[in-house]
Amino acid sequence: MLERTTWRGMGARLRSMERTAGRGPSRRSLLRAGTGLALVGTWPRARRPDELRVAVVGLHGAGRGHVDAYRRLDGVRVTALCDVDEAVLDSAAKELGEDAGPVARLVDYRRVLERADVDAVSLATPDHWHALQAIWALQAGKDVYLESPVTQTLEEGRRLLQAARKHGRVVCVGLTARSHPSLSAAIAWLRAGELGEIRLARAVCFAAQRSIGTVAAPRAVPAALDYDLWTGPSPLEPLTRRRLHHDWRYRFTTGGGTLADDGVHALDLARWALGEGGLPRGAAALGGRLGYVDDGETANTAVALFDYPTAPLLSELRGLPRDAGEQAGAWGMDDVQGLAHGARLECEGGALTLHTSGLAVATDEEGREITRWEELGDPFAGFLAAVRDRRIGPSSAGLEAGRASAALAQIANVSLRLAAASPAPPGTREASAGDALERLAGTDAMTRLAAHLEANGIPAEEALPPTGPWLLLDPGTGFLVAKEARALEGRAYRAPFTLPDPL
């Protein structure tokens, strides 16, 4: 049975936290004991050539950045490029240039794993491929750099973590904010008690999300692309969106929306700063795809609350611009006290704002700046160091961090999907929206959300769907307790692209 009463208790706790955040100078010398600045794992040393040989997989978007990053580093060479679109593959190979040395061009990722001249894979493929490709690489004895979110479902997170532990390979995750020394230093400063007890952690992701449009009939797949390989473990369905690339993230068979994309980086910063290494005790979300009707399924607007022992974590996601007038222009976005993408820790003695870009600013109770940090790092250099040292250092994000932060987005999406699956009966829409607002009544997140919707010409009492159920997690296993939620923890795999068993 879904628990629907705990949310009210959390709402009361959250409102109390918000009222006391920033009050009084009663600082403690140390915060409650927490985890270290980075999750550290060590693996048996293996013989490595002086030059790390990497295959970059997925070259339409972020993968090009991977190639450029490795080219800037000493001691690493790209020996293989892989993409299911031969036109993209040829373009990337041309950009890499002949001076890079011999480079294999491969369409099928499985051929990458057979190569002796590949020590590690750098994965920048769509989300629905992440877990399977990483597990296959681990089984083949390759180290892995994996873009976030590391998995698409909670079950994948558990399986991937098991595989990494079994095969003893290095897995670094593309949570790039963790590579910035400035953010590590700011969080250490916070953990030393400089602002007193943490009252509330906010994760903010205000990223423009325009409509992806609609199509009346399936579209033709580009001739250069192997659509069966692109689809991989997901259902092989007709292409029913205008853009094959990028917009896959807004369908639940292949992605988790902006919440699971840019949102995970903000969630990770907030969870990292809290010192919470794992999953929350419970969570719920409210939101939907508001302001337009298109072929997307995932939310562009959401508020989610996660129950952690240290303090509540409150997440805000927005894809619409600051007002309706912006919809025809550049889509200027809102912010929370200057923060559009990152985390804000509200404490007894002030606040610490962490931008994913690497800037951190501490302020006192009156909002006056105390100090700031701004020193950027390189996540790919961190990966290279982790492979050489056989351990995850402070300039990298390990798989444990990647799995836990991806899970926050996944849990929120489960709550949102359960709410959408049980729409309010006819004639009760206003009451359901009112109930949703009541559950978070008094929080500034809901006040701002209502104003944001109104500014975009969307009356909040008409637009907001019911709040998703409060989802409890088993503290021992990390499984969602409710059977209705458990049904959304995993996914069906299409043969032959199935998770190996045993791992």
Domains, the chain, with CATH or none: 6-34+180-209+239-376+397-486 (3.30.360.10), 52-178 (3.40.50.720)
3-class secondary structure, 232: coil
Residue 234 reports pLDDT greater than 90: yes
Please tell me the predicted confidence (pLDDT) of residue 49: 53
Strands (E), 63-173: 76-82, 104-106, 120-123, 143-146, 171-173
| pLDDT tens digits for range 135-189 | 999 999 999 999 999 999 999 999 999 999 999 999 999 999 999 999 999 999 9
Burial of 251 (0-12, 13-18, 19+ CB in 10 A): buried
Distance in angstroms (rounded) separating the CA atoms of residues 64 and 151 = 21
Nearest to 262 by CA among 249, 271, 244: 249
Q: What is the pLDDT of residue 334?
A: 95
Is residue 11 very low, low, confident or very high in pLDDT (cuts 50, 70, 90)? low
**What is the pLDDT at residue 423?**
56
Name 287's bridge partners. Answer: 302
pLDDT at 486: 86
pLDDT of 149: 98
Q: Label residues 297-311 b or e (16+ Cβ within 10 Å = b).
A: ebbbbbbbbbbbebb
Mean pLDDT across the stretch 284-312? 94
The answer on pLDDT for 30 being more than 70 is no
Model confidence pLDDT, tens digit, residues 95-137: 998 777 899 999 999 999 999 999 999 999 999 999 999 999 9
How high is the pLDDT of residue 440? 52
Does the structure show a pLDDT above 50 at 22? Answer: no
Query: Letter for the amino acid at 453?
Result: L
Q: Which residues contact 7 (CB under 8 A, 6 or more apart)?
A: 284, 305, 439, 467, 470
Cα–Cα nearest to 120, from 48, 54, 193: 54
Q: Is the peptide bond before 502 cis (omega within 30 degrees of 0)?
A: yes
Measured from the Cβ of residue 408, the count of other Cβ atoms closer than 10 Å reads 27
Looking at residue 461, what is its pLDDT? 79
Mean pLDDT of the chain: 87
Q: Is the pLDDT of residue 253 over 50?
A: yes
Calculate mean pLDDT across residues 373-377. Answer: 97
Say whether pLDDT at 31 is over 60: no
Residue 245 region by backbone torsions, left for phi larger than 0, else alpha for psi between -120 and 50, else beta: beta
Q: How far apart are CA 10 and CA 14, in angstroms?
A: 6
118 by DSSP, 3-state: which? coil
Lookup: tokens for 205: 């992701």
Model confidence over 422-451: pLDDT tens digits?
Answer: 754 433 333 333 343 454 555 688 889 989
Question: Over 50: is that where the pLDDT of 226 sits?
Answer: yes
pLDDT classification of 464: cutoffs 50, 70, 90? confident
Alpha carbons within 13 A on the beta-carbon side of 85: 14
pLDDT band at residue 21 using 50, 70 and 90 as cut-offs? very low
Q: Dump pLDDT digits (tens) for 39-49.
A: 333 444 344 45
Per-residue model confidence as pLDDT tens digits over 61-90: 899 999 999 999 999 999 999 999 999 999
Position 37 confidence tier, pLDDT thresholds 50, 70, 90: very low
